[in-house]
């Protein structure tokens, strides 16, 4: 079994990912979704957490000249810190906006201008939070070696956004691998897998068309 399928199995095992094509979740945006992903759940399972970190560190180690890790607040912070520790490189994290008190930092930790950072996030949906963090890093003088995440929904719009920003994106698992694992293990039917594939192609249209 390849890494993406193995990680997908772990996500399903611990309930970090839940699939409910018949009774979808409602996201903060109001869109209805047949999937909910919360990779923070992984932190509560030491053996699986170690497996995830090993896969992330392996992916990071295969990249060229990564000199630091930048976690994206908030969910990317713990995973990014664990990867930085495994690779023995500096760690910083990026807030979505600057604090309104104290030193009013948006970047926490010591950023070194010219250092090549890997942006680490737990989940890629639109890619907006990771790309915004990369912009903040670049404005502060850091260089971007790429972006790394545990899981991606594989939205075409996200792929285009990373390509436009010229930031290579690597994930250790993805939506296609998840559907394969879920169907093979009997957690979803072939019909439900088709419904879930339809959602990925056009989440808004799927949400608008859903009838309770």
On the question of pLDDT at 144 being above 70, the answer is: yes
In a domain, 144, yes or no: yes
Report the predicted TM-score, pTM, of the whole model to 2 decimal places. 0.94
In a domain, 76, yes or no: yes
124 among annotated binding-site residues: yes
In a domain, 211, yes or no: no
122 among annotated binding-site residues: yes
On the question of pLDDT at 100 being above 90, the answer is: no
The pLDDT tens digits of the residues spanning 175-193 come to 999 999 999 999 999 999 9
188 among annotated binding-site residues: no
Q: Which of 20-29, 50-59, 67-76, 83-92 has the lowest mean pLDDT?
A: 20-29
Residue 133's pLDDT is 97
In a domain, 28, yes or no: yes
On the question of pLDDT at 99 being above 80, the answer is: no
Q: What are phi and psi of 88, to 5 degrees?
A: 60, 45
On the question of pLDDT at 71 being above 90, the answer is: yes
**∠ at Cα 16 (14, 22), nearest 5°?**
105
Q: Tell me what the mean pLDDT of segment 42-60 comes to.
A: 97
In a domain, 169, yes or no: yes
Read off the tokens for 29: 């945006």
95 among annotated binding-site residues: yes
Q: 3-13 and 46-61 helices cross at what angle (nearest 10)?
A: 150
Read off the tokens for 47: 């053996």
CB 75 within 8 A of CB 151: no
126 among annotated binding-site residues: yes
CB 165 within 8 A of CB 129: no
Cα–Cα distance for residue pair 78/93, rounded to 1 Å: 10
Q: Residue 98: pLDDT band by 50, 70, 90 thresholds?
A: confident
Among 101, 88, 169, 96, which Cα is nearest to 135's? 96
- Domain total in the chain: 1
In a domain, 124, yes or no: yes
Residue 31's pLDDT is 87
101 among annotated binding-site residues: yes
On the question of pLDDT at 121 being above 80, the answer is: yes
40 among annotated binding-site residues: no
Q: Residue 59: pLDDT band by 50, 70, 90 thresholds?
A: very high
In a domain, 123, yes or no: yes
- The mean pLDDT value of the chain amounts to 94
Q: Which of 26-30, 99-103, 114-118, 166-170 has the lowest mean pLDDT?
A: 99-103
Q: What is the CATH number of the domain that holds 86?
A: 3.40.50.2020
Cα–Cα distance for residue pair 164/78, rounded to 1 Å: 28
7 among annotated binding-site residues: no
145 among annotated binding-site residues: no
On the question of pLDDT at 212 being above 80, the answer is: no
Q: Residue 34: pLDDT band by 50, 70, 90 thresholds?
A: very high
On the question of pLDDT at 123 being above 80, the answer is: yes
15 among annotated binding-site residues: no
Q: What are phi and psi of 210, to 5 degrees?
A: -65, 135
All residues at 6 or more sequence positions from 47 whose CB lies less than 8 Å from its CB, including other chains:
none
Q: What are phi and psi of 13, to 5 degrees?
A: -60, -45
Instruction: Write out the residue range of the structural domain in which residue 170 sits.
Output: 3-206
Residue 103's pLDDT is 65
In a domain, 212, yes or no: no
């Amino acid at each position: 079994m390849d890494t993406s399928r193995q990680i997908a199995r772990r996500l399903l095992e611990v309930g970090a990912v839940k699939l409910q094509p018949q009774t979808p979740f409602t996201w903060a945006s109001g869109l209805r979704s047949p999937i909910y992903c919360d990779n923070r759940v992984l932190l509560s399972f030491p053996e699986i957490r170690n497996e995830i970190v090993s896969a992330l560190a392996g992916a990071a180690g295969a990249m060229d000249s990564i000199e630091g890790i930048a976690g994206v607040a908030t969910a990317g912070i713990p995973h990014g810190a664990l990867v930085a520790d495994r690779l023995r490189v500096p760690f910083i994290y990026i807030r979505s906006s600057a604090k309104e008190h104290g030193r009013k930092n948006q970047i926490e930790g010591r950023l070194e201008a010219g250092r090549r950072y890997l942006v680490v996030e737990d989940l890629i949906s639109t890619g907006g939070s990771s790309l915004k963090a990369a912009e903040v890093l670049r404005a502060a003088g850091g260089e971007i070696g790429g972006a790394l995440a545990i899981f991606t929904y594989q939205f075409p719009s996200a792929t285009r956004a990373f390509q436009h920003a010229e930031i290579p994106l690597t994930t250790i698992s993805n939506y296609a691998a998840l559907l394969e694992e879920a169907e093979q293990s009997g957690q979803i039917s072939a019909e439900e897998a088709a419904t879930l594939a339809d959602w990925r192609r056009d989440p808004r249209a799927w949400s608008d068309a859903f009838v309770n």
